[in-house]
Chain A
Amino acid sequence: MSNKVIHALYNDDDILMDAVKKVKAAHHHIDEVFTPFPVHGLDKAMGLAPTKIAITSFLYGLTGLSFAIWMTNYMMIQDWPQDIGGKPNFSWFVNMPAFVPIMFELTVFFAAHLMVITFYMRSRIWPFKSAENPDVRTTDDHFLMEIAIHGNEEELTTLLNETGAVEINVIEKE
């Protein structure tokens, strides 16, 4: 019976926010909330930890910058130095001003793309992935709260009804 869940549907973001707070106050764990648009403060109300994805982006950016420095140094200074337009190439540092655009672009390139790939992997979204929202209305105008049932079905149903849910379904989850 442990894989039984309750789905409560709401049709307004403010009612949903109040409901989330009430359910948390009654010490129930909210497994998931599906919403059609970002509801501000919902993650905090649900007790989700803040995302660290911006930090990964910073690290990816540093990687891109390091790669650009290594690449320009290897290609223009070490492997095949050439005097082009009188720009000095005795060392990477004296030639550096000409490489600033490359360093900047590669920093942005790495930071942006690797962060987005990280986001897709962590949130499990990619081509040919099938959607996992339990009700098609959750991408339109409904908000769905999913709570696991541990022999407390009636108590939960009463509580969710009080919070203003427009529909409550008990589902056997595979």
Chain B
Amino acid sequence: MSSHYEAPIREPLVLGEKSYHDISVDIAKPIEGKANKNWYIAFTISLIAFLWGIGCITYTIGTGIGVWGLNKNIGWAWDITNFVWWVGIGHAGTLISAVLLLFRQRWRMAINRSAEAMTIFAVFQAGLFPLIHMGRPWNGYWVLPIPNQFGSLWVNFNSPLLWDVFAISTYLSVSLVFWWTGLLPDFAMLRDRAVKPFQKKIYALLSFGWSGRAKDWQRFEEVSLVLAGLATPLVLSVHTIVSMDFATSINPGWHSTIFPPYFVAGAIFSGFAMVQTLLGVMRKVTNLENYITRLHIEYMNMVIMLTGGIVAVAYASEFFIAWYTGSPYENFTYMSVGAATGAYGWAFWSLILFNILIPQLLWIKSIRVSFIGSFLISIAINIGMWFERFDIIAIVLSKGHLPSTWTRFEPTFVDVGIFIGTIGFFGVLFLLYARTFPVIAQAEVKSIMKVSGENYKKLRDGNHE
């Protein structure tokens, strides 16, 4: 039993008297049972929002990008804000499943499945925006490196926008196979439990015939480790490249060398906030409080405090450098006295309030371990991180090099509608996922039961006295 030793000071990750079979039962319960009223209410709201978004997208494509609030100076606004916001949210899933795997953090096992689902669904939403913004989305395949009808004129590999195409598609597809490979043993568990023939057939198909041989597990663990090793630099590269969309331009406020690390930290900050928002609700609805515990909430809040701190330092240095250059242009960037006192001052101060001030409450232990406290703070961070991207894009573009071109961006109902639509689409996907997929990586949780399960820890630690 010595191989299962863990220091008694570490708190258990799985609460209650659980056997291996109890874990299977608990994870299968939301799938085998019937959905409650709250699920249907949430699903209906998400679906209506989604349909409204589809309507706005159809209107945009049918009429043209002119239905958005863009103008000749502000050619990027809500769409790219939403794109960066959604991509950023995706980052937490990969961080939890890949980086925490490399650091051998056992607490990731309760949340990695849902965080990765969130990643994939969020990247879907992100991918929609560049596609719609093309105006002619049916020509979207022109971003691929294929010769066009004029001869062999190729895509431009010097452009950060094309780097983005490669980064986002690699990220989405690699996250998807990483997620699915981890799902195979859990689908197999559901398949072998299923009593309804239709359910059995579906889960047999989804599980790819997983049988759980010793050799399969050996390869499974090696593949997980190598995928984690590949996904870690990949996730850092994705937001680095997103930040290069701005950083390689010559706009003051965008042309900034600290953008890559600052964007990556911001992405993880917002992603963990979204995981906190989703799991705070999900653990209650699906009765998984014994698996997603206060300890998990606290650990996630610690990551939020760290990455939030990095973001705050980045803001401070942007603000300082803007002032220190003495350049009049820099006084109109998103982090400057000009921005704080200008027409977009409300957006500037929203950013400071939601992203820097409110998260500081997490230093208080009772708030850090409170579900409702971290839920509310996570919502604030989601709003704050949206404002960060809006500020960087709209404030900078509203005041260009030529004062006579200074202008403002006002979103139309279509801008707002598409954003609400993606939130609805995300909600629809996540709610369907929560009803049909094993929301916790049960095979992995079983493998840490003897190390970190409450009953095993009690049994073992009692023996020392």
Chain A interface residues (CB < 8 Å from chain B): 13-14, 32-43, 46, 48, 50-51, 53-54, 57, 61, 71-72, 75-76, 79-80, 82, 84-85, 87, 95, 98-99, 101-102, 104-106, 108-109, 111-113, 115-116, 119-120, 122-133, 136-141
Contact = CB atoms under 8 A, between A and B. Distances in A.
A36 B214 contact: no
Given A113-B174, A126-B209, A35 B214 contact: yes
B170 to A, nearest CB: 5
Contact of B166 (A101, A119, A125): A101
Interface string B189-212: 101110000000000110111111
Contacts of B145: 71, 75
Given A76-B158, A102-B166, A130-B204, A141 B214 contact: no
Nearest to A86: B158
A7 to B, nearest CB: 14
A9 B25 CA distance: 20
Nearest to B151: A80
A131 B226 contact: no
Q: Most chain-B CB neighbours within 10 Å: which of A41, A43, A122?
A: A43
Nearest to B155: A75
Nearest to A126: B208
B1 A36 contact: no
B447 interface: yes
A119 to B, nearest CB: 5
B223 A115 contact: yes
Nearest to B209: A129
Contact of A139 (B166, B167, B192): B192
A150 B214 CA distance: 23
Contact of A84 (B159, B216, B446): B159
A108 B159 CA distance: 20
Contacts of B216: 123, 125
A129 B208 contact: yes
Interface of B: 1, 3, 19-21, 24, 145, 151-160, 162-163, 166-167, 170, 173-174, 177-178, 181, 184-185, 188-189, 191-193, 204-205, 207-223, 225-227, 230-231, 233-234, 237, 241, 244, 443-444, 446-447, 450
A103 to B, nearest CB: 10
A109 to B, nearest CB: 5
Contacts of A119: 181, 219-220, 223
Nearest to A125: B208
Nearest to B212: A34
Nearest to A79: B152
Contacts of A102: 157, 162-163, 166
A113 to B, nearest CB: 7
Nearest to B224: A38
Contacts of B170: 105-106, 108-109
A87 B11 CA distance: 55
Given A34-B211, A139-B212, A113 B177 contact: yes
B158 A95 contact: yes
A69 B210 CA distance: 37
B228 to A, nearest CB: 10
A84 B158 contact: yes
Contact of A51 (B20, B167, B219): B219
B154 A33 contact: no
Contacts of B210: 125, 131, 139
A136 to B, nearest CB: 4
Contacts of A46: 214
Given A43-B214, A138-B211, 19 more contacts: A35-B214, A50-B218, A51-B222, A53-B222, A61-B230, A71-B145, A75-B154, A76-B154, A79-B154, A80-B151, A84-B159, A106-B166, A111-B226, A116-B227, A131-B188, A131-B192, A131-B207, A139-B188, A140-B21
Contacts of A101: 160, 163, 166-167, 237, 241, 244
Contact of B208 (A36, A98, A120): A120
Given A48-B215, A54-B222, A80 B153 contact: yes
Contacts of B227: 112, 115-116
Contacts of B444: 37
By Cβ-Cβ distance, the 9 closest A-B pairs, closest first, are: A129-B209, A141-B20, A136-B192, A75-B154, A101-B163, A125-B208, A37-B443, A105-B166, A133-B211
